[in-house]
Amino acid sequence: MIKSDIIERPKLVLVVDDQEINRDALGIILEDDYNILYAENGKEALDIIYSHVNELSIILLDLSMPVMSGYEVLERLGSDESISHIPVIVLTADKSAELKALQMGASDFITKPFDLPEVIHKRVGRILELSEGKQLISAAEHDRLTGLYTRNFFFEYAGRLFRYHPEMRMDAVVVNIEQFHVINAVNGREFGDDVLRLIGSRIKEFLTGTKGIAARVEADRFDIYCLGQPDYRALLEYLQEKVSQISPKVSIHLRMGVMPWNGELDPITMFDRAHAACSMVRGDYKKPLMIYDEEMHARDLMNQRLLNDLNTAVREHQLQVYYQPKYDIQCDPPRLSSAEALIRWQHPELGLISPGMFVPLFEGNGLISVVDSFVWKETAKQISRWREKYGFTLPVSVNLSRTDIYDPTLVDRLVRLIEDNGLDYSAVKLEVTESAYTDKAKELLETVRELRNLGFEIEMDDFGSGYSSLNMLSDMPIDVLKMDMRFIRNIESSETDMRLVKLILDIAGYLKLRVVAEGVETAGQLSLLKEAGCGLVQGFYFSKPLPPEEFEKLIEKELSN
Ligand code: C2E
Ligand code: MG
Ligand code: MG
């Protein structure tokens, strides 16, 4: 670890001596490196001490002076806690006074006539270091478990390095454990503690080879501030290898985010970015290391902008709902059976923004419910407008986010939506993404069950995108599986993919679930799906998502058939 001897800050020194020549001499020796205040006696000194408590770094104090002696100043310093932290070096010609001064709390002494300037300089520097180190250490509180620094101390220390040692090119590195709460829950806290301890000790070991400091800043988040490394893969792989050896039965995965030094950003901002980079690779076991780069920075700025602009967007009607048709392909010709409502943002400066840009962002902070409410209301109105115009109800599905599902007012809101627009529950279908089900939270299942009992049809969105297994399906409250487009993409060229699709269709049939194939783009895909017995298809082959006026052409074409 870095030693505190490299920490310096601009320092204010008080020189107290009744003889001008002594004050001048010390001034000349120290003025290049310190700011200096002068006092001619103890009384003046105390006035300055009290008015500069927070800035004063050290006092050089003569002992015998008129008006008030140095001893009296020492006594006051020793008895008043608000000023007792300021170190004192006494200046004296009297050998016998040294011991007394030291006993009274002085840190060191300089004998008169003055030593060589370098000696004085060194002594002042050393006492400052020691006292600063002492203050740091007293604030320190190493993390009990890992022996690394605690968060506050770490950032204090890193801040000093950043301010006073710009020549040190320090990177910010964040290490995190995937699903640490699960590891804890399954294997017990003690096991979890072992993992943390091991990571802590390996990070310390790493820091013996390079300059740097490290902290455990949160449960399973480790921050490392270290001299730039050419390649962090080596460090991550090393840590990963070590944690993998803890137990053959438990698989532990680490991820890492790095913000490289750029000379401008303070450690707090750097670690924010390193942390953002680290979060980017959450769950990505194949690529667990992310370096924060320009692209991420641009994305961060963009995200910030979108977050700021959302309210205006709602107020100024920049949000629009598009509709993408779902066709029943077992009819000939295929029949328009329903649609999905998909949000679009017509931004005045950025143009049309697709939900891929902002839905995940707003999901992260709950703002998605603002968007979703808007979409639901707009959709319900649209369904009833079309019912009036065309004389029948075209059901439309809307997307629900995880945030919506955990909102205790969800059921009420959806009931009101149906009632306010005079719709049947079957008119609005609810798409819940597969990954929401994998939490398997009782709450979620209960809410979805309640909605389903009311008469809402539930579609499991993105089915097969990697979370649930087929055998979980039987006890889920769902009516429809929306097969993720990844399955469909290669069915024309890959027999395995086609077999998988058939398997899903078989199981869905067995469970009496209807299936929507998403992302169908070609006639070839369509005919394979039709042959395999898939009922519904959504995709560019039929139509892209369309604004309502254009979607009406599809309805009208349907009616003319
Ligand atoms: P999703 O619910 O799975 O919606 C289907 C996405 O697939 C849509 O993307 C659609 O445009 C796209 N797609 C449809 N057919 C094809 C095709 O043949 N080829 C390809 N390559 N893509 C196709 P979109 O509209 O960009 O939406 C992306 C995701 O954003 C949606 O995936 C959904 O998860 C989310 N989303 C969209 N609107 C909302 C909303 O109002 N609320 C919430 N919570 N999420 C929304
Ligand atoms: Mg959807
Ligand atoms: Mg989908």
Considering only 80-89, 167-176, 374-383, 497-506, which range has the smallest mean pLDDT?
80-89
Q: How many C-beta neighbours within 10 Å does residue 338 have?
A: 23
The per-residue pLDDT for 5 is 41
In the chain, what are the domain boundaries? 4-138, 142-292, 310-560
Q: How far apart are CA 265 and CA 225, in angstroms?
A: 13
Task: State yes or no: pLDDT of 229 exceeds 50.
Answer: yes
Task: State yes or no: pLDDT of 196 exceeds 50.
Answer: yes
Q: What atom in ligand 1 is closest to the CA of residue 375?
A: 41
Please give the residue that has the higher pLDDT: either 394 or 22.
394
Q: How far apart are CA 491 and CA 543, in angstroms?
A: 20
Considering only 4-18, 179-193, 266-280, 393-407, which range has the smallest mean pLDDT?
4-18
Report yes or no: 517 and 529 within 8 Å, Cβ to Cβ: yes
Chain Cα centroid distance, residue 49 = 44
Which H or E run includes 103?
A: helix 95-103
CATH architecture for residues 4-138: 3-Layer(aba) Sandwich (3.40)
Average pLDDT for residues 500-527, to the nearest whole number?
95
Q: Using one digit for the tens of pLDDT, what is the confidence trace for 147-165? A: 899 898 899 889 888 887 8
If DSSP states are collapsed to H, E and C, what string results for 188-220? CHHHHHHHHHHHHHHHHHHHHCCCEEEEEEECC
The per-residue pLDDT for 9 is 52
Token output for 433 = 């993404």
Residue with CA at minimum distance from ligand 1 atom 8? 342
Distance 372 CA to ligand 1 centre (A): 13
Percent of the chain with pLDDT over 90: 69
Q: How far apart are CA 35 and CA 128, in angstroms?
A: 14
CA 428 → CA 11, 16, 112, distances in Å? 69, 83, 92
Highest mean pLDDT out of 17-26, 122-131, 419-428 = 419-428
Average pLDDT for residues 254-276, to the nearest whole number?
95
Average pLDDT for residues 337-363, to the nearest whole number?
94
In a 13 Å sphere around the CA of 7, the CA atoms on its Cβ side amount to 22
Residue with CA at minimum distance from ligand 1 atom 19? 519
Q: How far apart are CA 268 and CA 266, in angstroms?
A: 6
Instruction: Assign 19 to helix, strand or coil.
Output: coil
Q: How many C-beta neighbours within 10 Å does residue 245 have?
A: 10
Q: What atom in ligand 1 is closest to the CA of residue 354?
A: 26
Task: State yes or no: pLDDT of 475 exceeds 70.
Answer: yes
- CATH 3.30.70.270 for the 142-292 domain, yes or no: yes
Angle between helices 70-79 and 95-103 (to 10 degrees): 20
Task: State yes or no: pLDDT of 57 exceeds 80.
Answer: yes
Q: How far apart are CA 387 and CA 353, in angstroms?
A: 29
- Which pLDDT band holds residue 133 (cuts at 50, 70, 90)? low
> Which among 379, 298, 389, 303 is positioned nearest to 338, based on CA atoms?
379
Average pLDDT for residues 229-244, to the nearest whole number?
95
In a 13 Å sphere around the CA of 505, the CA atoms on its Cβ side amount to 20
- Which pLDDT band holds residue 4 (cuts at 50, 70, 90)? very low
Please give the residue that has the higher pLDDT: either 444 or 390.
390
Considering only 106-115, 230-239, 258-267, which range has the smallest mean pLDDT?
106-115
User: Exposed (0-12), middle (13-18) or buried (19+): which is 495, by Cβ within 10 Å?
Assistant: exposed
Instruction: Assign 175 to helix, strand or coil.
Output: strand
Highest mean pLDDT out of 96-105, 119-128, 368-377 = 368-377
Q: What contacts 503, CB < 8 A, 6 or more positions away?
A: 470
Whole-model pTM: value is 0.66
- Which pLDDT band holds residue 468 (cuts at 50, 70, 90)? low
DSSP string of 408-448, one letter each residue:
TTHHHHHHHHHHHTT--GGGEEEEEEHHHHHT--HHHHHHH
Ligand nearest to the CA of 405: 1
Distance 4 CA to ligand 1 centre (A): 55
Chain Cα centroid distance, residue 416 = 36
The per-residue pLDDT for 99 is 72
Token output for 316 = 């100024």
Q: Which residues partner with 328 through β-bridges?
A: 335, 536
- Which pLDDT band holds residue 6 (cuts at 50, 70, 90)? very low
Average pLDDT for residues 509-529, to the nearest whole number?
96
Residue with CA at minimum distance from ligand 1 atom 34? 399
Average pLDDT for residues 250-273, to the nearest whole number?
95
Which of 320, 377, 399, 481 is the pocket-test mutation for ligand 1 (most atoms within 8 Å of CB)?
399
The per-residue pLDDT for 161 is 84
Dihedral sign computed on CA atoms, order 280, 286, 288, 291: negative
The per-residue pLDDT for 413 is 96
Task: State yes or no: pLDDT of 42 exceeds 50.
Answer: yes
In a 13 Å sphere around the CA of 146, the CA atoms on its Cβ side amount to 28
Q: Using one digit for the tens of pLDDT, what is the confidence trace for 209-224? A: 888 999 999 999 999 9
Distance 504 CA to ligand 1 centre (A): 21
Q: How far apart are CA 301 and CA 307, in angstroms?
A: 10
The per-residue pLDDT for 441 is 73
If DSSP states are collapsed to H, E and C, what string results for 266-319? CHHHHHHHHHHHHHHCCCCCCCCEEECCHHHHHHHHHHHHHHHHHHHHHHCCCE
Dihedral sign computed on CA atoms, order 142, 289, 489, 364: positive
310-560: CATH homologous superfamily?
Answer: EAL domain (3.20.20.450)
Mean pLDDT of the chain: 90
Q: Which residues line ligand 1 (CB under 6 A)?
A: 324, 342-343, 354-356, 359, 368, 371-372, 375, 399, 401, 431, 461-462, 485, 518-521, 538-540, 545
Chain Cα centroid distance, residue 344 = 26
Q: Using one digit for the tens of pLDDT, what is the confidence trace for 315-348? A: 999 999 999 999 999 999 999 999 999 999 999 9
Q: Using one digit for the tens of pLDDT, what is the confidence trace for 412-466? A: 999 999 999 999 999 999 999 887 777 667 888 899 999 999 999 999 998 887 6
> Which among 410, 400, 408, 475 is positioned nearest to 433, based on CA atoms?
400
Q: How far apart are CA 197 and CA 108, in angstroms?
A: 40
Q: What is the dihedral of CA 488, 494, 497, 499, to 10 degrees?
A: 120
The per-residue pLDDT for 466 is 63
- Which pLDDT band holds residue 10 (cuts at 50, 70, 90)? low
